[in-house]
Structure 1
């Protein structure tokens, strides 16, 4: 699980000043519990499995409730085709996906039909965190199941984010992954799309993210079941 750092302590201070930060942070534990319960049900459902990897945005933090995140919204658009196993964690960085979430995915009783990855925002917060992020993301791309993975690009414009996005583009050109492209103006205007902490998406923002993931997810879903 992600370790507590100076940024967590800084958020403690900010929560005392900006009430919205505390309200959004308070979602972390109940949302995690809800996904743990949903994951248990998904494993016994018999439907094709969608494994969601990532950070708080894949948890849906900032939405009105856990069903308002982009993952449940997209699965609803797909007619609840998939049984979602959401292995994401609030605060997760690329290394957490590599060291914790991917091993848990590989330990599941059968391979997933779909894997989505939305991670890297927490790696872009400071120059120190950004160091080594492209190398870690390259390893992540190498370890994803080819042909069944949809990976989000990073919207940030710093050199490390651009390097990560070039890696995703290269993997997509090889046919290893499909892209949910969050670059440029893809996420739309920030006004009206952010939660009370002014960092996480709200229901409007998550609806947009679901829309960006929908075409590549539908493309993977059309390939059929994994061998």
Structure 2
């Protein structure tokens, strides 16, 4: 089968950017790019994510993305909304607007909802149920608005959290961001969702 060209944009926060990875090639975008390449795509990767971004900051990233006319966009957002107590409705509304704008320029979009922040080592055990509950509220709302706006959702937070709790080496030295090994584990969870979106786009184009 002939290889398919794919302009691929990664938007969001420090997880999308790759903060904590030992090498740039270990970050999420390059890892997902390798998976797409192995699946027969010629990938043009653009990492537009900004460390520290909240959902409201997606608007600026989307403006840069729409100028590139991406075929596929992955949006990883929500951790900083949680850390800064941004209301779930406000954060999800910004996400919905971002997805809508990306869809309007023809991009297929995969949304990765907020992580389960209760897995972070410095969260006191007594507060973890409360933190987990707040994360679940945002995750649920993000999934709803993403699907309504035409995106697919990669609900990997629970799987990833269990892996990080079981293996502290998945955290980088700051005990907050993933290490290179942590990004490998996150990419492993995301690959099926990203590959499914890329293949569906290829199949639609061939039909």
TM-score tier (shorter): 0.7 to 0.9
Displacement of 1:175: 8.2
Which residue of the partner structure matches residue 141 of structure 1?
99
Residue-by-residue CA offset, 1:49-81 (whole Å, 9 max, x unaligned): 001101111221111111111211121122263
More helix by share: 2
Change (3 A) 1:92 1:169: closer
Displacement of 1:140: 2.9
Asked if the contact 1:147/1:176 (under 8 Å) is kept, the reply is no
Pairing 1:1-227 to 2, within 5 Å after superposition: 47-79=5-37, 81=41, 82-98=43-59, 100-108=60-68, 111-127=69-85, 129-130=86-87, 132-145=90-103, 148-156=108-116, 157-159=132-134, 161-171=135-145, 176-187=150-161, 188-190=163-165, 191-224=168-201
Change (3 A) 1:204 1:148: same
Displacement of 1:165: 2.2
Displacement of 1:173: 5.3
Asked if the contact 1:154/1:183 (under 8 Å) is kept, the reply is yes
Q: How many residues align?
A: 177
Displacement of 1:223: 2.4
Distance 2:82 2:159 in 1: 18
Taking structure 1 as the reference length, the TM-score comes to: 0.68
Distance 2:52 2:14 in 1: 6
Asked if the contact 1:88/1:101 (under 8 Å) is kept, the reply is yes
Taking structure 2 as the reference length, the TM-score comes to: 0.74
- Structure 1 gap ranges (5+): 1-45
Asked if the contact 1:181/1:212 (under 8 Å) is kept, the reply is no
Change (3 A) 1:126 1:172: closer
Displacement of 1:48: 1.7
Displacement of 1:90: 1.4
- Aligned-residue RMSD, C-alpha: 2.6
- Indicate the SS of the match to 1:215: helix
Asked if the contact 2:99/2:149 (under 8 Å) is kept, the reply is no
